[in-house]
Amino acid sequence: MNVKIPVVAIVGRPNVGKSSLLNRLVERQVSLVDDRPGVTRDRIYAPCTWNGREFLVVDTGGLSGEDPFWQNIATQVEEAIREADLILLVVDAREPLTHEDEAIAERMRRIGKPVLLVANKAERQNLDTTDVYRLGLGEPQFVSAIHGHGSGDLLDAIVERLGEPEPTAAEAEAGDAATVPLRIAIVGRPNAGKSTLVNRVLGRSRMLVSDVPGTTTDAVDVEVDRGGQRYVLVDTAGLRRPARVREGERLEEIAGRHARKAIARADVAVLLLDADEGLTEQDKRIVKLCSESGVGFVIGMNKWDQAKRGEREAQELEAALRDALPGADYAPIVFLSAKTGQRVDRLFQEIATVAAESSTRVQTAQLNRELDEAMYQQPPPSVKGRQLKILYATQVGRRPPHFVLFVNDPQLCHFSYQRYLENRLRQAFALRWTPVRLTLRRRGGTPR
């Protein structure tokens, strides 16, 4: 049974760290962070999962002032509040409360929705926190969005306030078993065949296709049902190297930014390559962008029908591709033709596999047992007479699976040993095709 995905809205005055908090909660860079007020204007949504509970987090612009600029932002905030199931009111723990903080808190008390008070920037010890309680919104959650302090406790509080998931009214009546759509970002260089692929999947010419690079300039969402699974396909503009974007090509610059944003919001990305050109330096940059965003991806070697090459050539090219992508060689590779539909079904099979693995939840006890066994079978090397010790490990996020290892000293873990631990977890928990994040953190200290 499908359930209604609850919405958690982040509100507050400018520069209290709302965008940083969104990025921390969803474990990826979604919202632009800047010290200038008014950078966030539109509502920015991102999915979040914690302890098996899924919800949407929405970042809003800062509430301040009466001029038309700030009033437009306030309209966006009101829309977010109207659809929210829970509101996070964020204040700056380092500063005294302002009249704006108090006015926003008074507004929150009147709307009749659950509110969690979040005191951000609380990384410094010996803070005077008595002022925060004056807002009368219950026990504050003290966090540091930048450093991650208190984020787990805040997520626990969010899940507790949201309660058990409820089915939508229509599904409760009809007993519908529909699934939540998977967001698939189609990315690649100009003219790799992205719009042709979307049209092939839809079975109609929904996207404009042209040999002229730059025909697609915005990220376009199209929903489709395939094999009982709903997808939102996001056709993006071709990503060029910054040096190729001449000064004054403002439209293309914006298109590239939209494509990057689409990757950050995607559940899975499909990187289309041109079989005649193979993997270029710009393709490697796109792979790095997907990897840094934590998005699982599938490589589609497009126009394979035109290449007129056989199975042996495909195997050799796949091996070469994996050698060229150290650290991101986990991606499935499909040789296809968007024009003829060759192996497009196989592409979606791989998308489903990546999405499923990326959502894996590992029990804490199993995780710690596997790491103990890995360290027993291959102990870490000594560094100046000291050796790495893993005190405790836990999974803190999904999409991608993110594990935090509390250790005696993160500096004692060489990157090659960290890669060994990552590979052990991949083998133990069937995480072959998804990114995996390992964060080493000194107990009570900062992550590495």
The pair phi, psi for residue 217, each rounded to 5°, is -115, -20
Please tell me the distance from the alpha carbon of residue 405 to that of residue 372, in angstroms, as a whole number: 12
In the numeric block, the tokens 């005294």 are attached to: 96
- Topology classification of domain 364-442: GMP Synthetase; Chain A, domain 3 (3.30.300)
| 304 contacts: CB under 8 Å, gap ≥ 6 | 275, 314, 335, 336, 337, 342, 343
Q: Are 7-162 and 182-358 in the same CATH fold?
A: yes
Span 59-94, pLDDT tens digits: 887 665 443 334 545 666 787 788 889 999 999 988
Instruction: Quote the pLDDT of residue 63.
Output: 67
Give the chain's radius of gyration (CA, Å).
Answer: 23
Span 313-345, pLDDT tens digits: 888 989 999 888 877 788 999 999 999 999 999
Instruction: Quote the pLDDT of residue 165.
Output: 66
DSSP bridge partners of 44: 59
Please tell me the distance from the alpha carbon of residue 131 to that of residue 124, in angstroms, as a whole number: 16
Q: Which CATH superfamily is domain 7-162 in?
A: P-loop containing nucleotide triphosphate hydrolases (3.40.50.300)
- Cβ pair 406, 367 in contact under 8 A: no
Q: Which residues of the chain have pLDDT under 70?
A: 1-4, 29-43, 62-76, 125-126, 165-179, 204-220, 237-259, 443-448
Instruction: Quote the pLDDT of residue 35.
Output: 43
Listed residue (428, 448, 443) closest to 390, CA to CA: 443
Which helix (H) or strand (E) segment holds residue 140: the answer is none
Instruction: Quote the pLDDT of residue 64.
Output: 59
Please tell me the distance from the alpha carbon of residue 221 to that of residue 167, in angstroms, as a whole number: 25
- Cβ pair 70, 37 in contact under 8 A: no
Count of C-beta atoms within a 10 Å radius of residue 419: 13
Residue ranges per structural domain of the chain:
7-162, 182-358, 364-442
Question: Which numeric CATH code is attached to 182-358?
Answer: 3.40.50.300
